[in-house]
Amino acid sequence: MITPAFELSQEDDFLIFSIRVPYTRTSEFDLYIDGEDFKFYAKPYFLRLTLPGRIIEDGREKASFDINKGLFTLRVPKETAGQHFEGLEMLTSLLAPRGSKSAKPLVEDLDACSRSEEGEEEDSDDFDWQVEQEVYTESSEQLLNSLQKYGFGNKRSGVFIRLQEELSGVIDVRNPDATTAVERRQGRLSAESAKFDPDHYLADLFEDEAIQNLLKFHPWWTKSCQAQAEQSETENFSEEEREQLRRFTNRSYLLDKKCLHHIWLSLVDIILAYTYEIRTTEGEHSVESSWNIRKLSGTLCWLETYNSIQEVLVSFGRRVLCYPLYRNFSLITAAVHDTALIFQSGKICVLKCLLDIHKIFRENDPAYILNDLYITDYCVWIQRVKSKKVTALAEPLRKAALRKVDLGLELDELEAAAVLAQEEEEGGDLKLAGSTSHSLSRARSNSSGSSEKEESEDSGSEGTDADGPPEPASTRPLIEELGESVEAELSISEPLSNTDREKTKPPGPQGTEAQPHTASTRTLLEVHLHRNPLLIVEASEDTEDD
């Protein structure tokens, strides 16, 4: 946690705390007042003071917060009215916990320390209120000028110097204050290439039933933006949105032409991420909404600055195919169309999108820092721009021709290889099935012809060889045809002799032999599923007649 900058002053009856917490949520402040102990917590800031006098909490205390300055002011009554507190300017001594020593002892009993640690192991999960604190020091102007810029209009720097640990889950840039714009872009492209999963992409490409349903969804702006011409500006906002607007403070921005160009393009990038989130969740925000928006926006995730609409679309398209649940090029096209519709509807529709994003980030920890860096300024700035400048962005978005090859992920080659593999697999199955069916039909025709010929010969020579077994001529053409058509291993097993059959035959009830169930001239065809051979077994003639 971070020790905030603070000052103490006093009046006859009150002690006044001035605590600067610029990067925190205004709705979450925790205070603890008990005599000489004072604790203040507003994530990621924590302040613990040991006061030279006693203060009380009796209902007369008052607190205020200046959003522009990020300054929290608290007036707490003294327990003894008129008492003068000495040493309020000695900030280091105020930060020291009660009973702390100026230096550690030169000799320590290690065994005692280990015994103490073992005894306190059960309480290790409790928060350490006596955590070490350091006095806040302002960064010099020279240091701030040497740092890299980011945020709305690239006007911010030094924000992540002390907040890097707390904000590591919000952005993907490891050290943004020391990372140039070129290095950020190179890092983003490398991370996207490493994250791209061809299997995930192909699965969403060929099994797209859920995605087709998402493409049929009609977002809120398709209805509300069309009705804006019939309503006044105040009627376009809900009561919650109007309350959000009242909380914003008026700000002035000195922006040159180049800076404005970056601002507009970053706005397009943020709205693209928002439209994807709305479509894929069908307008129902979830716990992943904050992650989706900031992850799909290179502006929010990598502090990117863009130079053209095409750069924005390529960046957004790559991130859609690398990070979210649904990774389909049709969703990219739909998001571009939705964004064009939003800008065509004017700044009121754009502002409603920004207010929704602001709410999502405000309710998510620690994504709220992105409101301070980007979204709050966008909400204030967009109200001052001319509507024709907003609507002018719709035309280049409609005319933008984003192709799969532009994304640099070899999508065309990947899809072609997948289609070819699928066709080969299906073609092989059809070829095998067709040739087998054709061979079987030929075998059956040959078998029937041979049978008819055999019957005629048998009728002509009736009585001459009535006792001899008929030749199994009908089975041989079938075996030969299957052997030629099926490209698999064939194994023909020798038929069992009568002696072996008698050995393996189970005894029947009451000492009688079990009757055989196979015909004397039947051929058994057994297919092994794993090796795919054909096992041909000829049953021998029964030795006993019924």
What confidence score (pLDDT) does residue 27 get? 67
Tokens of 485: 């058509």
For residue 28, is pLDDT > 80?
A: no
What confidence score (pLDDT) does residue 1 get? 67
CA atoms within 13 A on the CB side of 32: 13
CA of residue 308 relative to chain centroid, distance: 26
For residue 89, is pLDDT > 50?
A: yes
What confidence score (pLDDT) does residue 321 get? 97
Q: How far from each other are the two terminal CA atoms of the chain, in whole angstroms?
A: 96
What confidence score (pLDDT) does residue 523 get? 44
Question: Which of 54-68, 109-123, 288-302 has the least mean pLDDT?
Answer: 109-123
Burial label, 529 (beta-carbon count in 10 A; 0-12, 13-18, 19+): exposed
The residues with which 523 forms a beta bridge, in sequence order, are: 538
For residue 317, is pLDDT > 80?
A: yes
For residue 532, is pLDDT > 70?
A: no
For residue 489, is pLDDT > 80?
A: no
What confidence score (pLDDT) does residue 100 get? 44
How does DSSP classify residue 537? E
What confidence score (pLDDT) does residue 111 get? 53
Task: Summarize the confidence of residues 9-31 as an average pLDDT.
Answer: 85
Q: How far apart are CA 84 and CA 255, in angstroms?
A: 49
Name the band, by pLDDT with cuts 50, 70 and 90, for residue 102. Answer: very low
Q: Report which secondary-structure segment, H or E, holds 143.
A: helix 141-146
Q: How far apart are CA 269 and CA 304, in angstroms?
A: 10
Question: Which of 7-11, 237-241, 371-375, 432-436 has the least mean pLDDT?
Answer: 432-436
What confidence score (pLDDT) does residue 247 get? 85
Task: Summarize the confidence of residues 236-265 as an average pLDDT.
Answer: 89
Tokens of 496: 């069992």
pTM given for the model: 0.63
- Using one digit for the tens of pLDDT, what is the confidence trace for 141-169? 555 556 889 999 998 888 887 676 667 77
What confidence score (pLDDT) does residue 34 get? 87
